[in-house]
Structure 1
Amino acid sequence: MPLIIGGGVVVVALAVVGVLGFVTPGFFMSRVFDRAAVEQGVAQVLTQDYGIANVGGVACAEGIPVRAGSSFECDASIDGQPVRVPIQITTDQGNYEVGRPA
């Protein structure tokens, strides 16, 4: 009888680990930014918030993890000149700040 109860506890524990491991974002999953959404957001901040005219394409890396306190850069063009745009991730929910291009 103790073997059956012990086996049941193991099954329940594995089920809990499995569920928690794959629930957003879970132990076995990591959240990453939607590349197209970040590119569009960066372009919008550059033009609307910073008032920069002639912003060309914005290109960010694929698979950037959502991790508060981390940072990355996107490439853009302004007046046909390449620039790097610093991005600071502010929350684990995916909020970020767009810095001025360098």
Structure 2
Amino acid sequence: MSRRAVATVGLCCAAFAVLTACSDTPVPAPPTKTVTVSPSASASSSTPGGMSGGSSSASAPGRVFDPRTMQADVKKILTETYQVSEVGDVLCPANQAVKDGSTFSCTVQVGGQGKTVTITVTGEDGRYEVGAPS
């Protein structure tokens, strides 16, 4: 085989390798797990008595998630379901409404590094999905 033929075959192989690496196949979304939580354990009714400023009861969320319960649940899901090791403190924001389709983030320490976990509410009854830490 001539040098020119060898070079052509080599270039074709390199082009094939590049095209294979540039696949149009979409990267799958990170897995999520649906967690069903009893509304009495994770959500409560807000009361307008503790409000300040010009807020009215009409703008206050009706039912909100209990951040302490959610933090414990998120830690358990990351450890047991996602098999994440070295899960440290989890911090979820307070006063997150139990509203279907809403999302918010919790922060979690994994191996000493801060990560974000997305929470997606999947129903008015207190169900939500916990995303993988990123």
Common fold: TM-score over 0.5: yes
Show structure 1 runs of 5+ residues with no match. 1-23
Corresponding pairs, count: 78
Task: Give 1:57's match in structure 2, choosing from 74, 89, 94.
Answer: 89
- Looking at structure 1, the residues matched to 93 and 77 of structure 2 have their Cα atoms a distance apart, in angstroms, of 18
- Matching residue within 66, 73, 80 for 2:112: 80
Name whichever of 61-70 and 27-36 sits farther off.
27-36
Task: Please tell me the root mean square deviation across aligned C-alpha atoms, in Å.
Answer: 1.8
Give me the TM-score of the superposition, normalised by structure 2.
0.55
Determine whether 1:39 maps to 2:76.
Answer: no
Distance 1:50 1:90 in 2: 19
CA offset digits 1:31-68 (Å, max 9, x no partner):
00011000001001000000001000000101100001
One-letter amino acid of the structure 2 residue matched with residue 67 of structure 1:
K
Deviations 1:66-93 (A, max 9, x none): 0011111000010000000011100101
Q: Which has the higher helix share?
A: 1
- Counterpart of 1:21 in structure 2 is none
